Amino acid sequence: MERTPVMTDKAPEPVGPYSQAIRAGNWLFVSGQLPIDPKTGESASGSFERQVRRALENLKAIIEAGGSDLDRVVKVTVYLTDMERFAELNAVYDEYFGDSRPARVCIEVRDLPRGAPLEIEAIAFCD
């Protein structure tokens, strides 16, 4: 099976030694996305909602660069530093995934890179 790294300038460069995503056959494995502005490389500031949107926009850009879209995402993992924000996360998340509703797990963690409040990774099917 061919293994191809996926990179796009519409999402931030990785903050470590890894790819934005790897396409393996018809599967796309997207690395965790923080709420980082791809134009500046800086963490998004402002409300938690704005940070969720930024992380999801980064995820979406990588998925599209890998030849898929949000409707073909089969699994999402969300890491939150504060589970009290679960309802806020869900409100924005629903706007992006709507009726496609991939499988998902949400895990509370103590800390994330750059002090981010969340990180989101995904697995998508590609044609």
| Residues with catalytic function | 106
DSSP state, residue 26: T
Token pair, residue 81, equals 């530093």
Distances (CA, A) of 25 to 2, 50, 58, 94, 111: 6, 34, 22, 28, 33
Q: What is the largest CA-CA distance in the chain?
A: 42
